[in-house]
């Protein structure tokens, strides 16, 4: 994976916990989401009731897992973490649900990938605080109803549209997380730099922030790579010039585009005459899988106006042609204009 991928890498899992905020008030960005959660948490504590079930949706790396952990901390309860792909059968959830104390938080990442049998098992747990346990198998299988403690399910997804309607309806709170502006990312970079005991000036922090694809996870990862460079080449201090040199070495340009982004856009322009091209054909041409292209690379390219997604396929925009120095298409085949992130 590229250094700018919003997916969580092994090094992130080792380092990120130390960089995460300890309180909801320390969480930078997503102000409306943070305010709504703070009010809901305070109200639940005053009523001495479990917080309503919460769903976070939006691109990867924007803080869904961090917010779930902060919610549990603010509520003073335990947090149990799992993900949709690893839950293969209801039994995988039984111990999690039966061992929880009242008000505990169960966080399910990639909740859109839950199997139907798991979803159906969760419905009575979410609504009535009870689960059905199979005592035997076969057409005459016996079941036993078991009461569980009231809990809060927090789900996270990058594919809101893939959630079934019955599952969506069971979340009392649904919040979308959006890409971060440069100013907020720069604040995150400065905060992380203080924790890492790295000297970064304002211009250096902003240079890292503007190449971070609107994503805190990428910002923190780039900061660590710039730190490596600064400690070897710049006496451990980061200014704009040091950040630019370090990021150039990583092939991350001033827009936050990396080598794979360039391959995607150049392939559409060179091999498919700018598009439109279907996702499957593009994936074959790149030697990559469709899911990675759609979930990892497309959101940022669309958000920044380099790529347009239409009913006919993917198209390179005028900005993409200009970025890589291509002549614009002949009249009659205009490149795509700026597009909406939500355009199908």
Residues taking part in catalysis: 64-65, 109, 158, 217
How far apart CA 162 and CA 55 sit, in angstroms, is 13
Tokens read off for 41 = 């948490």
Tokens standing for residue 272:
């498919």
Rounded to whole angstroms, the Cα distance separating 324 from 269 reads 10
The span from the CA of 141 to the CA of 258, in Å, is: 55
The pair of structure tokens assigned to 135 is 């005592």
Tokens encoding 328: 């614009």
Rounded CA-CA distance 177/315 in Å is: 26
The Cα 75–Cα 307 span in angstroms is 42
At residue 183, φ and ψ (nearest 5 deg) are -60, -40
d(CA 211, CA 186): 10
């Amino acid at each position: 994976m590229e250094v700018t991928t919003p997916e969580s890498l092994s090094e992130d899992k080792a380092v990120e916990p130390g960089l995460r905020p300890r309180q909801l008030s320390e969480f930078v960005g997503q102000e409306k989401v943070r305010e709504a959660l703070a009010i809901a948490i305070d109200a639940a504590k005053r009523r001495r009731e479990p917080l309503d079930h919460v769903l976070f949706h939006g691109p990867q790396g924007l803080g869904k897992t961090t917010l779930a952990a902060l919610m549990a901390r603010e509520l003073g309860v335990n947090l149990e973490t799992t993900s949709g792909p690893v839950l293969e059968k209801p039994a995988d959830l039984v111990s999690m649900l039966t061992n929880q104390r009242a008000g505990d938080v169960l966080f399910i990442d990639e909740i859109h990938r839950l199997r139907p049998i798991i979803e159906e098992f969760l419905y009575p747990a979410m609504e009535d605080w009870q689960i059905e346990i199979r005592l035997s198998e076969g057409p005459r299988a016996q079941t036993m109803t078991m009461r569980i403690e009231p809990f809060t399910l927090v789900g996270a997804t990058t594919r809101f549209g893939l959630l079934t309607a019955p599952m969506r309806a069971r979340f009392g709170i649904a919040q979308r997380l959006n890409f971060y502006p440069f100013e907020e990312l720069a604040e995150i970079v400065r905060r992380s730099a203080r924790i890492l005991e790295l000297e970064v000036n304002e211009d250096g922090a902003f240079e890292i922030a503007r190449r971070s694809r609107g994503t805190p996870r990428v910002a923190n990862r780039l900061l660590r790579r710039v730190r490596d460079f600064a400690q070897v080449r710049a006496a451990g201090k980061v200014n704009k010039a040091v950040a630019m040199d370090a990021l150039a070495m990583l092939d991350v340009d001033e827009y936050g585009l990396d080598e794979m982004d360039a391959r995607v856009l150049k392939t559409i322009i060179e091999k498919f005459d700018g598009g439109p091209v279907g996702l499957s054909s593009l994936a074959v041409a790149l030697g990559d899988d469709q899911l990675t292209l759609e979930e990892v690379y497309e959101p940022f390219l669309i958000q920044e106006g380099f790529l347009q997604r239409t009913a006919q396929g993917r198209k390179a925009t005028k900005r993409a042609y200009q970025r890589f120095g291509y002549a614009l298409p002949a009249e009659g085949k205009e490149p795509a204009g700026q597009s909406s992130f939500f355009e199908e």
